[in-house]
Amino acid sequence: MKTVFGVFGDPVEHSLSPEMHNAAFSELGMDSIYHAFRVDKKSLEYALNGANAMGFGGVNITVPLKQEALKFVNTDPLAFRIGAVNTIDFRNENAMIGYNTDGVGARRAIADAGVDIKNKKILILGAGGASRAICFQFANDGADLIIANRTESKAVELAEDVKSVGNAKGTGFSNLEELVAESDILINTTTVGMHPNTKDTIITKEQMHSGLVVFDIVYNPLETRLLKEAKSAGAIPVNGLMMFVYQGAEAFKIWTGENPPIEVMKNTVLEELKS
């Protein structure tokens, strides 16, 4: 009998996780299947308990459920600090265990691009769920963070939380030009530039300097306006593809204990993004 995995979210029909994980199962000859399930907030507890009762192998949690899911699972310490889970493991008989693999995904993606973040000045745009995961991971890894958010109070609040593991300051958007000039790495965690609003960007090439690493966690489109601007400024663009692949790969490892076939997962997502 096949083992069932899935992603719970709403909306969830455009998720590329099913294709990515099914390709991985097929590559490793595993008799498993991964499916997207539309689950809203009020049904999440039932959906999780149901999946657990039916012997699911594991689930991912996506928008808008990542924070809500904390209520129903035992969280590992990192996910607890972040305040959000994106991966749930059902193998423990006493409790469902929640993890957050977004930050590790970002760290691996940026390391792949040849960038060492230790002691680097990183300007992070946005203070939402994705930002929280990245900020905790990167502050913990020794980077020096400035978190800038349209709603300044959220950035200040996040920075206060992150200070428990490393260096972080929160601010608004009023002084962005200067902040970019002082940074080694710029990371966009906001939805600005994401399909269908592909012409939007918070920072333009005039504000960038050569050698600046510009990491956009958006992967649809793969080359966002921000990354185009980076290219023409002589900055180093890093797209969101590998963060998505690695967050999935980390989840795959948690559920199955197997080494995920990264290349197969990456090529599957790339093909899906092209079609």
Give the one residue of 3, 74, 167, 191 binding ligand ATR; rule: CB under 6 A.
Answer: 191
Residue 266 binds to ligand ATR (criterion: CB under 6 A): no
**CB of residue 249 vs ligand ATR: minimum separation in angstroms?**
20
Give the one residue of 129, 237, 260, 261 binding ligand ATR; rule: CB under 6 A.
Answer: 129
Is 266 in the active site? Answer: no
**CB of residue 192 vs ligand ATR: minimum separation in angstroms?**
5
Give the one residue of 126, 193, 248, 260 binding ligand ATR; rule: CB under 6 A.
Answer: 126
Residue 131 binds to ligand ATR (criterion: CB under 6 A): yes
Chain-centre distance of CA 5, in angstroms?
Answer: 19
* Of residues 84, 88, 171, the one with CA closest to residue 130: 84
Give the one residue of 35, 150, 163, 209 binding ligand ATR; rule: CB under 6 A.
Answer: 150
Residues forming beta bridges with residue 38, ordered by sequence position: 9
Residue 86 binds to ligand ATR (criterion: CB under 6 A): no
- What is the end-to-end Cα distance of the chain in Å, rounded? 32
Q: Considering 2, 41, 42, 66, which one is annotated as catalytic? A: 66
Rounded-to-integer distance, Cα 50 and Cα 193, Å = 37
Neighbours of 116 (CB within 10 A): 12
**CB of residue 26 vs ligand ATR: minimum separation in angstroms?**
29
User: For the window 16-55, what string marks contact with ligand ATR as x by the rule CB under 6 A?
Assistant: ----------------------------------------
Rounded-to-integer distance, Cα 41 and Cα 268, Å = 30
Rounded-to-integer distance, Cα 167 and Cα 230, Å = 26
3-state helix, strand, coil in the chain (%, to 5): 40, 20, 40
**CB of residue 164 vs ligand ATR: minimum separation in angstroms?**
20
| Contact (Cβ atoms closer than 8 angstroms) between residue 81 and residue 227 | no
Matching residue, tokens 């809500």? 68
Give the one residue of 62, 149, 183, 256 binding ligand ATR; rule: CB under 6 A.
Answer: 149
Strands 121-125, 144-148: parallel, antiparallel or unpaired by DSSP?
Answer: parallel
- Binding residues for ligand ATR, total number by CB under 6 A: 14
Q: Which of residues 208-247 bind ligand ATR (CB under 6 A)?
A: none
Residue 127 binds to ligand ATR (criterion: CB under 6 A): yes
CB-wise, 213 or 226, nearer to ligand ATR?
226
* Of residues 164, 212, 167, the one with CA closest to residue 188: 212
Rounded-to-integer distance, Cα 20 and Cα 41, Å = 25
Residues of this chain that interact with ligand ATR (CB under 6 A) are: 126-131, 149-151, 154, 189-192
Residues marked as catalytic: 66
